Structure 1
């Protein structure tokens, strides 16, 4: 799982997406699950100069009135909305059992923690070994001091409940147990050590449309299973699919249900969640239901077949606008050589009208993804693998950048910044300027250089992972 961006490719293999995308787009947090963390990049002389040469644009703060866990999006009314009233909890006073609402055995009596696998805003994931059996698992430890609001606590409870609810599905990571002590809530789950979806494809070095259809069937199948059980994932993306092990026939499993929610038929949601490349247009319009997962799965399939996302721009706001208004492009390579059946499925999954969009069950029954379906077993253009490698490498670079920023801030600075982002927007405009950020940092005692503040703001500008609480956008998601 390399972390270095690939060098320039041949003109025929280089897609315009890679020429126009800016570093700000890359610096958007992704869920750190069971995958190995990327090593901290070595500093280069150009790093500070590139981030401090100009003042960045103001940071847009999420304005959803229904949830503190929301990300910036176009406001169709153009009017600022009042900030939600968030009830805070005294994190130091969260007693044993206060999150799980029950007594639990002590994690350290049952498991031995091993190496760190990944880290997010709320939790750190470790490899662990069950003492009684010697079996290996993954343990996500969520620090209780970071559960600042009642909503944070409820999010953890709901994530555990949803994982138990989906338990037993062959393509969903299994939860083994949940434990709580004075300092953390621990989720012990199946260890997925086979790497991310895109990395496996790249490592194989060969790829066919039939192989893409098999992966698509798994992804859509997870969506169909979730929806049949009344669960909306809301953050489907390639990083949230891991292989169980390195074997050729290893199962692919969905992970990270931190943004998932239970829903009822025809229930409408309005909090803006998800990741820019994969977010459905109705999410940005704050009026959506479960078909947002079908859209996200359609985006993943588009990338599996072409190596680039269907809607992109050099800024996150531009990506949102493309999601809302852009047209699918099936004229550029490699689409002319891809089967009409594949294009038909993608087109129907990425229909902007959710009422006309396929349901997950309908997509699963499409002839292109059916077992022994019509997907041809011919190799895809080699440019697809090249682009996929570039796209994956850029996302890893983004995660490294966010990790460098976050690891240079203390926990007190992070907590203060989270509150400051809400506090500074005194006119409810949804934006704060660089000078306001500098002033706020001084008020909370965060001693950062001007270049570091500028870097922080550039990163925060593009962060929309919803676990950043309205938001400290300077650290990565859970």
Structure 2
């Protein structure tokens, strides 16, 4: 949900910048060691988990508290991120004093990303704005602080997006970062059309280089996936950069995590078992390399539950097409990265030393089977089709009409399977387009040729996602109004 950093304008207050390029400009003082930061985070997580456990006990009637105590807790949680300057813990200027906001690039559960133009230079950046009212607990506030701190900690790494600065007002926290216009990893591969194991090995080396950089810096990414790797521009030799450190954590040697986070296809089995360390990043990177070489995920399912079951118990397929055409060295690396026992899994350094991935390694330069590109295109396009449908419907339909859409799905689901095909989805949307803009519905219905129209969608999950997205969009619109009113 990445150009060299430009110097800070002289008329900007230096304390608002998290990091600056010029050595003669002041930086925020940071005297804590990495281990101290990690230990503080560990203690915060422990206290937070204890508080959550106590709240659950009270809710279940296991423990009792007086009504005043409960009311106090509710107020504290609801206001946790709403106090001015309570997130960055320092005064900053208003974002709009220094930047003009442009088009929206995308949005996630907590924030929306815009193009922003620096007023003094005309340079374009990406601005991720996180509404403070969505930070409902101290843990949420700490997550935002940590994301900024980790990006600051990794600043200067060639394949990691750089942060320009952070701003806070009474409505939101804004992170200004490098802008990547070169597109996502898989899209670039499909667009270029020429693809070999050697090229896949080069991309894998960049990905694992980022993982090694994070691990050597005491950071675990926790959400490695193709969407979180963007090219800076359209040039053939454009740098590939890792983005989105919203789930990343500082590491204490030997410490394990228990919270289940990540993306279904890329999540490691030990994460699902709630006992994991930095080895989980290697698994996620291994899944990415598997997809780069085959065009499909190693552990597949129609629902999250099915995917998770496959991740935990499914057999790794390295024999069916196109794997017979892939080198034994490439398959050897995949096996060692997708080893379910994290203690036996390769480290990032060991992966980078593997014969297949080294610059002078043995990855062949012959083109991969054409089915890999078509599968890769389908793998990417199927997800994009779902996202496009969600966006179009959420923007255009009322809640009553969305309920009508659910009823329409049920009507065509004659077998009561709870699923509809993409072909049926297209048919419903064509008939159910009273409030859909023609250009939007046309672009939606121009299904990529490599998306199989007989692939299915769980319509309850689909409509549920539409409703969640509509809520996010409505909240984003309210945030924009609130922010404008504060300027």
TM-score, L = length of structure 1: 0.69
CA displacement at 1:174 relative to structure 2: 0.3
* 3-state DSSP of counterpart to 1:188: strand
Structure 1 residue 140 and structure 2 residue 115: aligned?
A: no
Q: 2:143 matched to which residue of 1?
A: 155
> For residues 187 and 67 of structure 1, what CA distance do their matches in structure 2 show?
31
* 3-state DSSP of counterpart to 1:277: helix
Q: 2:461 matched to which residue of 1?
A: 458
Contact 1:402 1:476 in 2 (8 A): no
Q: 2:356 matched to which residue of 1?
A: 368
* 3-state DSSP of counterpart to 2:207: helix
* 3-state DSSP of counterpart to 1:126: strand
Could you list the per-position Cα deviations for residues 380-416 of structure 1 after superposition, in whole angstroms to 9, with x for gaps in the alignment?
0000000000000011123224435654799xxxxxx
The runs of 5 or more residues in structure 2 that have no matched partner are 3-47, 53-59, 64-69, 399-417, 419-456, 477-487
347, 353, 359: which one aligns with 2:335: 347
281, 297, 301: which one aligns with 1:309: 297
Q: 1:131 matched to which residue of 2?
A: 119
The runs of 5 or more residues in structure 1 that have no matched partner are 1-30, 34-64, 70-79, 411-433, 435-453, 464-471
Q: For 1:315-326, what aligned pairs fall within 5 Å after superposition?
A: 315-326=303-314
Q: 1:121 matched to which residue of 2?
A: 109
Structure 1 residue 173 and structure 2 residue 180: aligned?
A: no
Aligned length: 356
CA displacement at 1:201 relative to structure 2: 0.3
Contact 1:91 1:144 in 2 (8 A): no
* 3-state DSSP of counterpart to 2:113: strand
CA displacement at 1:105 relative to structure 2: 1.7
CA displacement at 1:328 relative to structure 2: 1.0
Q: 1:42 matched to which residue of 2?
A: none
Contact 1:270 1:286 in 2 (8 A): yes
Root mean square deviation of aligned Cα: 3.2
CA displacement at 1:92 relative to structure 2: 9.0
190, 197, 201: which one aligns with 2:178: 190
* 3-state DSSP of counterpart to 2:129: strand
Question: Relative to structure 1, is the Cα distance of residues 405 and 355 closer, same or farther in structure 2, using a 3 angstrom cutoff?
Answer: farther
CA displacement at 1:372 relative to structure 2: 2.1
CA displacement at 1:331 relative to structure 2: 1.0
Q: 1:94 matched to which residue of 2?
A: 82
CA displacement at 1:462 relative to structure 2: 8.3
> Highest relative contact order (Cα 8 Å, sep 6+), 1 or 2?
1
Could you list the per-position Cα deviations for residues 62-108 of structure 1 after superposition, in whole angstroms to 9, with x for gaps in the alignment?
xxx95999xxxxxxxxxx9x99x997533497232111010012211
> For residues 159 and 405 of structure 1, what CA distance do their matches in structure 2 show?
32
Question: Relative to structure 1, is the Cα distance of residues 364 and 67 closer, same or farther in structure 2, using a 3 angstrom cutoff?
Answer: farther
Could you list the per-position Cα deviations for residues 95-141 of structure 1 after superposition, in whole angstroms to 9, with x for gaps in the alignment?
32111010012211111111111111211111111111111111111
| Structure whose CA Rg is larger | 2
Structure 1 segments of 4+ aligned residues over 4 angstroms from their partners: 65-69, 85-88, 404-410, 454-457, 460-463, 472-478
Contact 2:225 2:288 in 1 (8 A): yes
318, 328, 342: which one aligns with 2:316: 328
> For residues 80 and 155 of structure 2, what CA distance do their matches in structure 1 show?
32
Contact 1:402 1:475 in 2 (8 A): no
Greater Cα offset, 147-156 or 283-292:
147-156
Contact 1:272 1:283 in 2 (8 A): yes
Question: Relative to structure 1, is the Cα distance of residues 259 and 92 closer, same or farther in structure 2, using a 3 angstrom cutoff?
Answer: closer
> For residues 348 and 93 of structure 1, what CA distance do their matches in structure 2 show?
43
237, 240, 250: which one aligns with 2:238: 250
